[in-house]
Copies of this chain bind each other. A is one copy, B any other.
Amino acid sequence: MSEYKEPLLDVAHLGRLELLTPKLDQSLWYFRDLLGMEVVATEGDSVYMRAYGDYAHSTFKLTAASQPGPGRISWRCMSPQALERRVKAIEAAGLGIGWQDGDIGRGRFYEFRDPDGHHMDLYFEEQKYRAPDALRSTLKNLPQRYTARGANVRRIDHLALCAQDVAANREFAMDLLGFRVREQVLYNHGQTEIGSWMSLGQIHHEMAYVLDVKGAHGRMHHMSFWIDNREDVLRAADILAENNIFIEAGPSKHNNSQAFYLYSYEPGGNRIEIYSGSFIVTAPDFETVTWNEEERGTGVYWGGALPESFLNYCTPNVDTPVAAENANVPVFDPV
């Protein structure tokens, strides 16, 4: 018992998602008017936003770019000391980029890349959001009033990144950042890691790595926003449909994560999930659930299949032929 490895608890949670879009104005319309998020600040080519239930100054950053895809993903540490410890470890692993002075609403942060090349940072100092009078809620424990605009997502939840080598990236996330693996899809008798869903806390997963079927680097499958109940996901589907947003899949229920999902493409081309359900994990020694080809099925619990695009389209999109070594990779379904 003395050899039990204590969990690494230095990183607290997903702090901010940055999303790149070639159509900033239309993407802004999607997140603000259809998803109901709030704009907190604008600087240069970036718009800083948050959902009504996010307590931090900003949790989502929309940045104009030539291609859609993920921007810099920010993880908040448990304390300044925890931040220092993590930075040292990342530097030692040779993946660090360096300290930056801070961003709107936040203190200094340390940039790095995961093995697949996704851009990330770690930080601790962060402003709490203070609602202006017009957005103050009648609920004292709500950072901002419920505006009832559009789908009104509550908070950022997670993201799913593509990786050429899922295992390598998962191990990085576990060893350097403290992620615990909730669920895995392993094909070929456990030899091919198709996807891993991981968390820093009790939320089911805050990050997933899924196989990049086109053998590219630094891409994203989707970003996900939480909404409090499934009825609101159904309502969100109506809102998206009324606004001619392409709904790729759902609302339906995944087997992996048990989540109730709705995937659409924001106007910039990124896949965005509106998400509810799933489950809380409290056990520090939760046993990773693994699914093989047969158990995984289509990934839809109630039957039916996810569309081809769900398995093949990621951002930035790549048209190049798949590299030979990836040609036989089986299709898979990221949650």
Contact = CB atoms under 8 A, between A and B. Distances in A.
Residues of A in contact with B, size category = 35 or more
A304 B304 CA distance: 10
Contacts of A277: 228
A332 B126 CA distance: 34
A150 interface: yes
Nearest to A238: B146
Given A242-B138, A295-B140, A301-B139, A79 B284 contact: yes
B4 A304 contact: no
Contacts of A92: none
Contacts of A14: 282
A155 interface: yes
Interface in A1-44: 1-2, 4-7, 9, 12-14
B302 A250 contact: yes
A165 interface: no
A157 B235 CA distance: 21
A148 interface: yes
Contacts of A317: none
Nearest to A142: B258
A91 interface: no
B258 A289 contact: no
Contact of A302 (B79, B241, B256, B291): B241
Given A9-B78, A148-B151, A284-B79, A248 B140 contact: no
A76 interface: yes
Contacts of A238: 146, 148, 253, 301
A330 to B, nearest CB: 18
A246 interface: yes
Contacts of A257: 141
B252 A283 contact: no
A216 interface: no
17 contacts: A4-B81, A6-B82, A7-B78, A13-B282, A53-B279, A128-B287, A138-B241, A148-B149, A148-B239, A203-B282, A228-B277, A229-B229, A231-B232, A234-B253, A241-B302, A251-B251, A304-B307
Given A13-B282, A141-B289, A241-B301, 16 more contacts: A4-B81, A6-B78, A6-B79, A6-B82, A7-B79, A55-B283, A138-B241, A139-B241, A145-B242, A148-B239, A230-B230, A247-B304, A248-B303, A249-B304, A251-B302, A304-B304
